[in-house]
Amino acid sequence: MNLILLGPPGAGKGTQAQRLMAHYGIPQLSTGEMLRAAVAEGSDLGKQAKSIMEAGDLVPDGLMIQLISQRIGREDCANGFILDGFPRTTAQAEALDAMLAERELQLDKVIAISVDEEALIERISGRFSCTDCGTGYHDSFKPPAVEGVCDECGGKNFERRKDDNRETVQARLQTYHQQTAPIIPYYDADGRLARVDGMAEIRAVGDAVLALL
């Protein structure tokens, strides 16, 4: 199963990817996570990406295409993958089709999750995650069952993303509308696109996604 989760920042891509990953046993490939790891590591890619991410802009296509091309070639992707945060531009979407064709692979579905702008800002403002296992949470919408303790791993350390602040969020939303939303018609044209109402509760959105697959 090869899937893309598409949608603006805060739509719930990562949240739904975690459920799909557990359901199908295929990895979530989050380019945002990969870039944050590169920044933390201080690699060349991380050095190039850091200020771009802090400004809410996009890292250059060439770097992202190379990153994802290497990643889908790894063994854990043999049964499929869930792309979260890639492609984000028409150039990335075209490059993805080329790299899949080269490997004789196809996309099963591109799932576009739509959420109102106000709700996106609310979701991003309350987002945090477990430092130890990466599980995502929200102050109001998905708090851990026991305050301060991760449901999945029992860890007690949590973090918030540096770019999840009001100003950067506005820039990221603008970037989404200008550069990423135009790829929706690209996938709609050949019937690969499916739309899901992301305004529903987490569980209901997940049920709707699974019903499509």
Q: Give the footprint of Zn ion on this chain (CB under 5 A).
A: 130, 132-133, 135, 150, 152-153, 155
Q: If binding is defined by CB under 6 A, does position 123 make contact with ligand ADP?
A: yes
- Stretch 181-200 residues interacting with ligand ADP (CB under 6 A): 198
62 φ, ψ (degrees, to nearest 5): -55, -45
Chain position carrying tokens 């979260």: 84
140 burial level (CB within 10 Å; 0-12, 13-18, 19+) = exposed
72 binds, among Zn ion, ligand ADP, none (CB under 5 to 8 A by kind): none
Minimum distance, C-beta of residue 71 to ligand ADP, in the bound complex (Å): 12
C-beta closer to Zn ion: residue 40 or 153: 153
* Of the residues 6, 7, 28, 39, which one makes contact with ligand ADP according to CB under 6 A: 7
Q: If binding is defined by CB under 6 A, does position 50 make contact with ligand ADP?
A: no
150 binds, among ligand ADP, Zn ion, none (CB under 5 to 8 A by kind): Zn ion
Active site residue 195: no
List b or e across 143-174, with b for residues whose CB sees 16 or more CB atoms inside 10 angstroms.
ebeeeeebeeeebeebeeeebbeeebbeebbe
Minimum distance, C-beta of residue 14 to Zn ion, in the bound complex (Å): 14
Q: Name the strands in the sheet holding 158-159, side by side, starting at the edge strand that comes first in the sequence.
A: 136-138, 127-130, 158-159
The residue annotated as part of the active site, out of 160, 161, 192, 195, is 160
Chain position carrying tokens 């200008």: 178
Active site residue 172: yes
Active site residue 13: yes
The residue annotated as part of the active site, out of 36, 88, 109, 123, is 88
144 binds, among ligand ADP, Zn ion, none (CB under 5 to 8 A by kind): none
132 binds, among ligand ADP, Zn ion, none (CB under 5 to 8 A by kind): Zn ion
Residues tagged active-site: 13, 88, 127, 160, 172
Question: Binding residues for ligand ADP, per CB under 6 A?
Answer: 7, 9-15, 31-32, 35, 52-53, 56-59, 64, 85-86, 88, 92, 123, 126-127, 136-138, 141-142, 172, 198, 201-202, 205
